[in-house]
Amino acid sequence: EYKADDGRTGKLYVDGDKIKFTYDGKTITFNPDAEPDTFKINYFPFKGLAIFTRDKNGKIKDVKAEMAGYIINAKKIA
């Protein structure tokens, strides 16, 4: 579970080679990009990029998403 800097929370999970994020009843799919821990976002009508940061154990600790001129930072809370 992750909490964004705007206070919203959501769940991040793996589905095949994609990562999905659900919040407020919506699901955003992150498709793999050429760079490790970088994913393209296609959430009609928006497109963007999500970059994951890992801790020393290799677990994702936060994500920064840039989409339609907005930047969302979310940190792992559970």
Q: Binning pLDDT at 50, 70 and 90, where does residue 70 land?
A: confident
pLDDT over 90 percentage in the chain: 33
Tell me the backbone φ, ψ of residue 30, rounded to 5 degrees: -105, 120
First-to-last C-alpha distance (Å) of the chain: 5
Mean pLDDT of 27-56: 86
CA 19 – CA 7 distance, rounded (Å): 21
Q: Is the pLDDT of residue 32 over 90?
A: no
In which band, very low, low, confident or very high, does the pLDDT at 51 lie, cut at 50, 70 and 90?
A: very high
Q: Give the position of tokens 């001129």.
A: 69
Amino acid at 21: F
